[in-house]
């Protein structure tokens, strides 16, 4: 059994050994209302790992981002292939005047969900092989569902959520099971209206963040 603190230290050491800047912010969210990132641009010689540690799921975000690092480290072909189109959706969201074909948006959405789903499978494998003290797996699974499904809504609304999507008011409405097959999450027909309605709260301007 591993403690959260020990695992955090091990992860930071490993990232530093791989020349990452490790930015553990004492905040609830980062820019663009996200909880963290693992950003690698070897052309620019930049490797950055950031987490909003004061988020109520700060440790879980750290584990998630670490598994992106593992994707990059152990499956570079997959990592590179999905990153090619990863920005298409978010550039289109950020710039209302940008014209992007539906095919390109669909490809981007598919790539994003594929890399995120693979990342979550790594998280579940890691916590199974190396259990973490006081890790709330039920909460994590609900957050994963919120996170993966939110990409469909990002595309539908051409908008990002205003808060990290796995908020305390969203989680009780999320499924507490994870589907190992990425095709399940790629099919928008599996996004129920209950899940959708719960997630939409985090896209509304007048709502108070949690
Ligand atoms: Zn991710």
Per-residue pLDDT tens over the stretch 2-15 = 999 999 999 999 99
Digit-coded pLDDT (tens) for 4-52: 999 999 999 999 999 999 999 999 999 877 899 999 988 888 999 999 9
Long-range contacts for 119-125 (Cβ within 8 Å, ≥24 apart)?
Answer: 119/64, 119/67, 119/68, 119/71, 120/64, 120/67, 120/144, 120/148, 120/178, 121/180, 122/67, 122/70, 122/71, 123/63, 123/64, 123/67, 124/178
pLDDT for res 83: 83
C-alpha of residue 112 to centroid of ligand 1, in Å: 8
State in Å: Cα 206 to ligand 1 middle.
27
**CA 150 to ligand 1 center in whole angstroms:** 12
Contacts by residues 100-106 (CB-CB < 8 Å, ≥ 24 positions apart): 105/155
What is the pTM for the complete model shown?
0.93
- If you measure from the C-alpha of residue 195 to the centroid of ligand 1, how many angstroms do you get, rounded to a whole number? 20
- Per-residue pLDDT at 33: 78
Q: Does the pLDDT value for residue 58 go beyond 80?
A: yes
Distance 64 CA to ligand 1 centre (A): 6
Q: What is the pLDDT of residues 77-134, one digit of tens each?
A: 999 988 888 899 999 999 999 999 999 999 999 999 999 999 999 999 999 999 999 9
Q: What's residue 5's pLDDT? A: 96
Mean of the per-residue pLDDT values for the chain? 94
Distance 148 CA to ligand 1 centre (A): 9
Residue 152 Cα to ligand 1 midpoint, Å, equals 15
Contact 117, 66 (CB under 8 A): no
């Amino acid at each position: 059994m591993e403690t959260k603190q020990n695992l955090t230290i091990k992860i930071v050491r490993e990232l530093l050994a791989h020349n990452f800047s490790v930015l553990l912010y004492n905040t609830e969210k980062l820019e663009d209302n996200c909880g963290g990132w693992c950003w690698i641009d070897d052309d620019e010689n930049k490797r950055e790992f950031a987490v909003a540690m004061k988020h109520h799921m700060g440790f879980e975000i750290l584990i998630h981002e670490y598994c992106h690092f593992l994707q990059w480290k152990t499956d570079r072909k997959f990592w590179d292939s999905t990153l090619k189109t990863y920005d298409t959706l978010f550039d289109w969201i950020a710039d209302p005047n940008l014209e992007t074909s539906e095919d390109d948006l669909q490809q981007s959405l598919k790539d994003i969900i594929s890399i995120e789903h693979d990342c979550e499978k790594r998280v579940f494998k890691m916590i199974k092989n190396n259990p973490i003290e006081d890790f709330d797996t039920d909460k994590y699974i609900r957050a994963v569902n919120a996170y993966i499904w939110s990409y469909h809504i990002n595309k539908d609304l051409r908008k990002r959520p205003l808060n990290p999507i796995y908020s305390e008011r969203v989680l009780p409405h999320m499924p507490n099971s994870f589907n190992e097959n990425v095709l399940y999450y790629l099919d928008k027909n599996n996004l129920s209206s209950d899940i959708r309605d719960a997630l939409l709260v985090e896209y509304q301007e007048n709502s108070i963040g949690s």
